[in-house]
Each structure stands twice: as C-alpha cells, then as structure tokens.
Amino acid sequence: MQEENYYFSKAFKYQNGFLFCENVSVGEIKVWLKNQGIARVTPAFVYSKSQIEENVLSYQNALSALKRNTQLNYALKANFNPSLVRIIKSLGCSLTLVSGFELELSLKLGFQPENIVLNGNGKELWEIELAVRNGCLLNIDGMFNATQTTSVCRKLQKKARILLRINPNIDPMVHKYNSTGIGGSKFGIQKEDLNDVLREIESEPLLQLVGIHCHLGSTITDIGIFRECTEMMSQLFSNLKNEGFEHMKYINLGGGLGIDYTKHIAMTTDPETINGMETKPLVIPTPADVVKVIDEVLGDKDISLILEPGRSLIANAGILLTSVLGVKKSEPKRYIVVDGSMTEVIRPALYSAYHHVDICEPSQVEDAHKMLYDVVGPVCESGDFLGKDRYLTTPHEGCTLAVFDAGAYCSSMGSNYNMRARPAEVLVNGNKLELIRRPDSLDDILGPYNV
C-alpha cells in the first residue's frame, strides 16, 4: 500500500492506506451514494473542485500578467458536465465548442456568446446559423465551410466574425489520434488552399476576418512545439494584416498541454518486468511556461490571445471509482476484474493510453502481496481493459480501485455499450459532496426507442 500522505495531485492522497479526495475518503463517498438511494454506487466519477480551481488559475494568473488582451477558453469536449463547467465559468473562462448542442448548453449556462468559439471541421448549417445569430466567433475550416458560412450570413443578412483554422503542418509528437495540426489531417486549411479561402472571404462583405486559429493536438509535452506554432501564426497574422484584412485581432492557439499520466507508474509496476519502461516523472511545461513562450514570440504586436486548453484544466481533477468483482488466472496472465470498463474510460482501448490504477483501501486478503495483474472490465470485448501489467496488491472482492486522471475525455466519451448504465458523478468540495449526475436507469437507455 502507498505510504501515508502520498499525493497523486493536491486533491488526491492516501492516509493510513485509504484514498481521500480532498477531505473525504472514497469509502465515505460510496456510503454517501448508497444513502442517496443509488443502488449501484460504482463505477462512479469523483471530481475535486479545488483541483479544477487550481488548474484554471494557473493559466489565468499567467495570462493576467501579460500586457495584451487575453482569453482562456475551456474546450468543452473534454468534459461537459454542467456543474463542472459552471465552476470553470466562475473563474473567468469562455468556451471553445465543436457542436450545436455544445453551443446550446453554453448559452443555457450564461456564457457570453461573443467570446465563444465554434470550431469543427464539419459543421451543419443549423449549427452555423445558431452561432451567427448569437454573434459567436466562428472558425472556418476549409473552402466548403467558408461557402456554407456565406450562405447562412446571406440568409440571415447578418455579419459573422470568423477566424481561419490553419493547418500548420507541425508534428506535436503525440499519438496519431491526438494529432490534429499535421499535414494530411482532416482539420484546418492547408497552405496551398489558403488563397482560395481568402478570395471567398474578400468577395463577401458579411464575412469579417478577425483572426486566425490553429490546433496542434493534445497531450503535448514539448514547449518547443508551442514556440514553433506561435512563430508561424505570428508571421501569418502580420501577412494578412499587410494584405488589407484590417479587422485582424485574434490569434487563437488551440492544443492541449499534456499532463503526466505516468508519474506514478513505478508504484504499480514490477521493476523486474517493465522492460525498461520509463518510471521517472516526465518534465512537462507548466501553463506559465506555455504562456511565457507564446508571449515572447508575439512580442509587442497588437494581438489578442485566445488560449484553449482542455485536458490540463480538468484531467487530474477526476478519478473513476470501481469495485473488484473477482480475481482470476488465465495462464500466463492474472486478472483483476472490476465493474468499471471501457464504457467509462475508453482511452486505454482507444489510444493505448496509460491511466494509473491502484486500490483505495487496505486489502483484506490474508497474506496479500503484490503481483502482476491486468485490470479489466466486464464488457464483452478483448479491448476492455483499464490497465495492463500492473503490480498491485491482491485485492479482496468488493475492494475499491481508482483509475486516476480521469477528469478529461472519459465521462464525455462514455457510452451505453452492452446496455451499461452511465455512472453517477460526484463533486467534492472540502468535506461536502454533491451528486452532479445520477446514474442511468433502464428507462434512460430505452427512452428514445420503441419498446
């Protein structure tokens, strides 16, 4: 078991062998959920309010020191739970969106539409119309998107403020599914197509070009990639200004700063079996590092900066609690089978991503000791695993396990596959608990169908 006060983030720590979120043990959270009338208390997502606040303020404090207009936009696709988004709004953030329903939620939550950015490489006409009617910033992703926007503006007889999403052809050195700014990507305007899009904009007075945007991808850990991208975007901004696009104001830099998902890998991996896998924490730039390098490149140019991280604002603020169903052997493997699965945390199956997994309480197994296990769920897929080759203390049946760093791209990518109920979500604020999503019922799953 972990040493006392061993921290996963400032919000998650072990005390006397028990995992706490802020001032509440996760065992207490399970009992509290049962007292709320919830029969199936795990799996469940648990979020720390204080960790979200710390993550957002690390960006906001760095941006506030700059001598330029700045805006921090949360990428809503990372996690759209309204209770969490309200916290982020209270800290001065706006939003970057990729769908019409995301925009409708944003308006319901009271975000100022003029600061919202609607992104997306395949917008439907109703989504564009909703954004134009409300005065949002619109990213133009290519020629067909430009002509779509022209047609909507003419229909409404209303001007749209647009940014061009540029494909910078920069390799962010991340998993290929997380790379969005490299040549050949489905995202953004390639260099050879830019002039055609500019001519479309010049020919339509209802399209007002106010800036440029790019999105490199997510899980980025190399500060040099942010510098290279900013240099390219700064030069393009100046070129467009010189070509007569007088309303140019914004550079919108999308792309998620990574978090160190692997910093605790040595705690649950057998050193004799990891085949040289890196166990030292990665050196990841801080939000202040990213803001500083961007500002250095932009220099004294009159440019308003929009920064839109997603993952690093919320990923380490959430965990998935899951309970052990049993332990089994299937030589040469050993498995811990839990009630959580790829329907809650799909990143390991989708990206071969690492999430730290550990037990949340002392094992009740007699003479329990650490062994090498795969942690797997009950979904009928061989790809349904939460962690492979984890060096874990043998847990007892019903023992609680936590999947760490599950705040981003877990709940929002969840599903009802195998007719599994999407789980409860709990917000922890000091010693207070709030149910911010009840688990699905069978009626929730079947409601849209004719049964």
Domain borders along the chain are: 7-48+316-446, 49-310
Given this model, what pLDDT does residue 270 score? 54
Residues near 412 by beta carbon (within 8 Å), at least 6 away in sequence: 77, 78, 79, 80
Closest CA to 95 of 83, 109, 341: 109
Contact 179, 171 (CB under 8 A): yes
CATH architecture for segment(s) 7-48+316-446: Beta Barrel (2.40)
* Helices 287-298 + 223-242 axis angle, to 10: 30
| Whole-number average pLDDT of the chain | 89
Percent of the chain whose pLDDT exceeds 90: 72
User: Rounded to an integer, what distance in angstroms lies between the CA atom of residue 443 and that of residue 354?
Assistant: 34
pLDDT at 27 over 90: yes
Q: Which of residues 22 and 177 earns the better pLDDT score?
A: 22
Q: End-to-end CA distance of the chain, in Å?
A: 48
Given this model, what pLDDT does residue 121 score? 86
Question: Which two three-digit tokens encode residue 98?
Answer: 């990729």
User: Rounded to an integer, what distance in angstroms lies between the CA atom of residue 321 and that of residue 406?
Assistant: 10
Given this model, what pLDDT does residue 338 score? 98
Please name the helix (run of DSSP H) or strand (run of DSSP E) that holds residue 201, with its range, or none: helix 194-202
Per-residue pLDDT, averaged over 50-59, amounts to 96
Per-residue pLDDT, averaged over 382-406, amounts to 95
Per-residue pLDDT, averaged over 221-247, amounts to 88
pTM for this entry: 0.92
Give me the active site residues, please.
380
Per-residue pLDDT, averaged over 152-170, amounts to 90
**In 10 A of CB 189, how many CB atoms?**
24
Which runs of consecutive H residues, i.e. helices, occur in 36-180? 49-64, 82-90, 100-108, 125-134, 143-156
The CATH number assigned to the domain with range 49-310 reads 3.20.20.10
Taking only the tens place, the pLDDT of each residue in 286-296 is 899 989 999 99
Three-state DSSP at 254 gives strand
Q: Which H, E and C letters describe 3-44, residue by residue?
A: CCCCEEECCEEEECCEEEECCEEHHHHHHHHHHCCCCCCCCE
